[in-house]
Structure 1
Amino acid sequence: MNKITIAIDGFSSTGKSTIAKQLAKKLEYIYVDTGAMYRAVTLFALRKGHIDAENFSVNDLVADLDAINLTFKYNDSLGFAEMYLNGENVEKEIRTLHISEYVSKVAAIPEVRYQLVKQQQKMGKDKGIVMDGRDIGTVVFPDAELKLFMTASPEKRAMRRYKELIDKGDKVAYEDVLRNVQSRDYIDSHREDSPLRQAEDAVALDNSDMGLKEQFERILNLANRTINP
C-alpha cells in the first residue's frame, strides 16, 4: 500500500492528538505527538529550575538540551504511545495546566525547536506517519502529502480542555483554562521562529460544532483519497 505523511497542525485543544491517534490506528501508521515532546522539555526545565514564575533562563535550558532524551513507548492497554523523559514515563505529568502555562514559551526557543524538529524529521523519514503539532506542515514536513489545519473558537477549546482536566481529577477553574488557551494562541502565532500558521496547501477544519465521529470520517476520507488518488 502507498504510504504518505499526514501533518496535522492547529491551535491548542482542537483535538489534534485525538484525531491523529484514531487516524494512525485506522491506517496502521505511526503516530507522533510533537506537543508531548515540547511538554516533556518543559517538565525537564521546571524540574531543573530553569523556568518558574519568577525566572526564565533560556541559556541554562539550551545548555542542558543534550541531557534530554525523549522517546515514545507504545502502551498496548491504552492503544497509543506514551512520552518518556530520560527513561521515565511522564505522560500524565506533562498534561497538567501547570505545564500548559509554560510550554508555549519553551516551544518558542529556537534551539529547542531545532533540536526537536531534527528528531521529528528522522521519525518520519520512511513515511507512514501521522504527526500533529504547530509547524508540521510548514516546517517539519513541508512536502507532506496531506496537511490539515484544525481550529475552533477559544471558548469551545477551553471548555473541552477544562472538562478533560476535571475528568482527570485536576482542580482548575474554567476562566484559568480560557486565559491559558488565549495566551498560548498569542504566543504560538507571534513567535519569531516557526509561528503557528496554516500552510497554503492545508485543508482547514473548524470543529467548533463538529462531533468526533463526523470529524474522523471526514479526515479519513481525505486520507484515503490522498493515499489512493
Structure 2
Amino acid sequence: MTGGTTAPVITIDGPSGSGKGTIAKLLARQLGWHILDSGALYRLTALSAVKQGVDLNDPGAVAGVARKLDVEFRSGQMDQPVSVYLMGEDVTEEIRTETCGDKASQIAPHTVVREALLQRQRDFRRMPGLVADGRDMGTVVFPDSPCKVYLTASAEIRAQRRYEQLKQQGQSVKIAHLLSEIKARDDRDMNRENAPLRPADDAVTLDTSGIPIDEVLREVLQIWSSKQA
C-alpha cells in the first residue's frame, strides 16, 4: 500500500541510548505496524557518501546522496534487531558504529540534507500504522501524530548501555570515551539551528534510567491506549 496521511503514527523521540530504538521495534512488532528508524537514514546517507567519496562538509553533495538512497528495513524475529539494507547489502552492523553515528550527527544539521530526507521519511507512513523512531519525528516529520513519546535517560546511563552493547559485539571501548561522545552529540543535536532535539509540546516524556525495557513498553502502550479513548 502506498503512503498516506490516514495511517496512524506513534513517534518515539529522544537522545542516543535512551532506548527509543528498542521500544520502537518492540512496539511495532506488538501492534503489527511498520517501523521507521529515521536515525538509520542519516547514518545510511553518511555511509553512502563516504563510500562514494563525497565530502561530508558539502551539504549539497550529501543531499544528492540522500535523495538516491536505496533503503529497506526488514523486521526479523522478536529477539533480533531490525535489519537495514543499502542497495541490497546488509549494513546493519556497519551503520551502528560510533564512527558512523558521529558522521550522521555531522550531516544532520544541514537544512538541504534534512529536506532531502523529509519526504522519504513520510513515505514510510502507511496502513495499518507506523512507529517512527528518531529525534524530530514528533516535532517536524509527523507533527500531526496522535501519540508522541519522548524517551530520555542520564548521559551516564546511556554510556553504560552503549558500552554493554559494543562489548557484546566484541568491540573494545572505554566508558569515559563513550560518555564524552554522547555528551558532544547531545550538545550538537540539542543546539543545532535546524530541528533541534527536544520533546514536542504535546509529547509524553519518560525517563528510562533504571527502568526495565518491558515496563517502558507497557507505559508506551498505555499512552497509545489512552489516545484511543
Asked if structure 2 preserves the Cα contact closer than 8 Å seen for 1:5 and 1:127, the reply is: no
Aligned to 1:90: 91
Aligned to 1:221: 222
Aligned to 1:107: 108
Aligned to 2:163: 162
Aligned to 1:17: 21
Report SS of the residue matched to 2:36.
Answer: strand
Figure out how many residues of one structure are paired with residues of the other and give that number: 224
Alignment of 1:28-177 (within 5 A): 28-51=32-55, 56-76=57-77, 81-126=82-127, 128-177=129-178
Deviation of 1:190 after TM superposition, in Å, equals 1.3
Alignment gaps of 5+ in structure 1 = none
Q: Amino acid of the residue matched to residue 69 of structure 1?
A: D
Alignment gaps of 5+ in structure 2 = 1-5
Aligned: 1:26 with 2:35: no
CA distance in 2, matches of 1:13, 1:162: 10
Deviation of 1:83 after TM superposition, in Å, equals 1.4
With normalisation by structure 2, the TM-score equals 0.90
CA distance in 2, matches of 1:224, 1:3: 16
Q: Amino acid of the residue matched to residue 31 of structure 1?
A: I
With normalisation by structure 1, the TM-score equals 0.90
CA distance in 2, matches of 1:110, 1:125: 26
Q: CA-atom RMSD, angstroms?
A: 2.0
Deviation of 1:188 after TM superposition, in Å, equals 0.7
Deviation of 1:210 after TM superposition, in Å, equals 1.2
Q: Deviations over 1:196-221 (max 9, x none)?
A: 11111000101112111221111111
CA distance in 1, matches of 2:79, 2:218: 22
Deviation of 1:26 after TM superposition, in Å, equals 1.0
Aligned to 1:209: 210
Deviation of 1:127 after TM superposition, in Å, equals 5.8
Q: Deviations over 1:30-50 (max 9, x none)?
A: 111111111111111222333
Report SS of the residue matched to 1:103.
Answer: helix
Instruction: Quickly say closer, same or farther: Cα 1:66–1:7, change in 2 above 3 A.
Output: closer
CA distance in 1, matches of 2:132, 2:25: 9
Q: Deviations over 1:115-166 (max 9, x none)?
A: 2220111111546111110000011110101000111111110110111011
Deviation of 1:66 after TM superposition, in Å, equals 3.8
CA distance in 2, matches of 1:71, 1:183: 30
Report SS of the residue matched to 2:73.
Answer: strand
Q: Amino acid of the residue matched to residue 227 of structure 2?
A: T
